[in-house]
Every structure is written in structure tokens, then in C-alpha cells.
Amino acid sequence: MSVFTTPMEVRFMDIDAMGHVNHATVISYFAEGRNKFMADHFSQFTPAGFPFIMAYVACHYLRPINLEDPLLLAIWVKEIGRKSFNLGYKLMNADDHEIGYAQGESVQVCYDYGQNASVELSSDLQKALRKYYKDDENGYAV
């Protein structure tokens, strides 16, 4: 099992009136990390051959993120279904992985836009996703 990690940068525009990263921005960090994960490890599946829609996204906020906090985002595959797959996310301090800022999950459904319907994951995609599969029922620590 592999876990994809990528550093994330807190931008000044991410900070809200309360002086910490706005809650909605954390979801955008998940999306940015997911895009890097897909580009780095699933490039053989072109966008035309790997279209999916976001069916669900959730975030559990653990503590505020400040402008100077160094961030690391971990992403792994939590579940592989017939037509969908779930990704897990952990946003943590890059210098001290024990300091977690947020945990999340998203569900991606493979979709045929021409047919306007969900489709099954190809066996090649299932195989590629399995490389990043981790059953994290009890949480995840990098």
C-alpha cells in the first residue's frame, strides 16, 4: 500500500477574518491534492477515458490552520467499488505529523457524459487504485 503525499502552501488569501484558514479552503486543498495525485499516478488514464463526477465530500476539522503552518496532505484509496472509489485525506503539519488539521473523504463516480450515466471502473483502473488502497477504519497516521 502506498500513500500519496504532497506539500500544500497556505496563501494569504486563504486566511479569513478570524486569522486562520477558512473552512471552505480546506476542501480546495483536498481538490488540489487530488488533482496532483491523479496527474502523478494515473496519467495513463486520460481525462476522456477517466471521467468522474464528485458524489460526496466531507471534512472533519481538527484544529485551526495559521498562515505560517507548513502543511502536508496525505491521500489514499479507502474503498474501490464497481462504479466508484473513495479517497481518504489527512492534512497535517509537515514538520510534525502528529499535528493533524483536518481529515476527509471523497467519493468519485465514473461517469459517461455522452450516456449521462454512471459506468463501471475498468479493470485497469481498479488495479491502479489498489496500489493506494488502505483500510483506515481506525484512522490514518503518516
Looking at CATH, the fold of the domain delimited by 4-130 is given as Thiol Ester Dehydrase; Chain A (3.10.129)
Q: pTM for this one?
A: 0.90
What single string gives the DSSP state of each residue in the chain? ---EEEEE---GGGB-TTSSB-HHHHHHHHHHHHHHHHHHH-TTS-TTTS-EEEEEEEEEE-S---TT--EEEEEEEEEE-SSEEEEEEEEEESS-TT-EEEEEEEEEEEEETTTTEE-PPPHHHHHHHHTTB---TT----
Mean pLDDT of the chain: 90
Domain spans in the chain, listed from the N-terminal domain onward: 4-130
- pLDDT tens digits for 49-94? 668 899 999 999 999 999 999 999 999 999 999 999 999 999 999 9
Give tens-digit pLDDT for 100-128.
Answer: 999 999 999 999 888 999 999 988 889 98
